[in-house]
Amino acid sequence: MVFSAASAVLFGVTPAVASRIYSMGGNAVTLTFYRNLMAVPVLLALLGLEGVSLRLTRREAGLLLLMGAGFRVTTTLMLYQSYLYIPTGMATTLHFLYPALTALLCRARFRERLGPWKLFALGLSGLGALCLLELGAGTDPRGVLLASSSALTYACYLIGLDKTALRDMHPHKAACYMGLLNAAAMLAVGLPTHQLRLALPPAALGLSFLLAVSTSFLAVSLLQWGIRLLGASSAALFSMLEPITSVAVGCLALAESVSRRSLLGCALILAGVALTALAGQRQAVEK
């Protein structure tokens, strides 16, 4: 629970730091490229100190390509593409359909028992996410479709980390290869479309490195540990702390206003996460 929640909080700080980088000439593609690429040397150094081999079996390589290039990279591209059609806040909220999709897919594909408490927690968190969603008359359906599709591909990515051989892979090793795949994808997309800006001010590069360490290294590794210990559906519920962190940081650091509806949404999400934690502790006691 702690690992999954900490991962969500680290990811939730990203928008505030990203806004500073964007003000210095960066953009979403450039930040994603640097955030993933800069984490790789740190991860390689840690793997060397821990004596973890970088060798992959054919099965592991295939799974990394499927989960990394097939689901995680696709998630990033669709989510960032949706920003062209709808506000980023709306896109992020639609993306957070993934906890419910993760639970439903685990139930449908693996017959995973959800239980009444988890279903109720999912309902509360889903209602809270809807409170954070602000649909307008001019909402472009293309953006809604892209952001919602990113939720589905990210749910598949989380389930893949839980239900395949990647579950037993060292988290730093998996994060290292995922970082390389994401950086390669952003390079392939950013160069032809001229969205990749390699020349950034030193301050922007420093903040990008900070994000690389906190997200592509720490947050990704913590999430994999959380999935290993909790399972994909429960870890995804704790990830709902990410939009709450984004709202809180935006309010405190960027002086953004928060509506009563947003506060209600945050309260409902927190209630859902708390119920999940209590249900998990109850199951542990019963065992």
- 191-247 pLDDT tens trace: 898 889 988 999 999 999 998 888 878 888 898 889 888 888 778 778 878 777 777
| Whole-number average pLDDT of the chain | 82
Residue 176 CA to residue 41 CA, distance in Å, equals 9
Pseudo-torsion of CA 18, 24, 26, 32, nearest 10°?
-40
Tell me the per-residue pLDDT of 37-96, one tens digit each, with 9 for 90 and over: 999 999 999 999 999 999 998 889 988 888 887 888 888 878 877 877 776 667 777 787
> Which one-letter DSSP state was computed for residue 136?
-
Q: Pick from 43, 52, 35, 11: which is nearest to 169 by CA?
A: 52
pLDDT for residue 279: 63
Residue 263 CA to residue 65 CA, distance in Å, equals 39
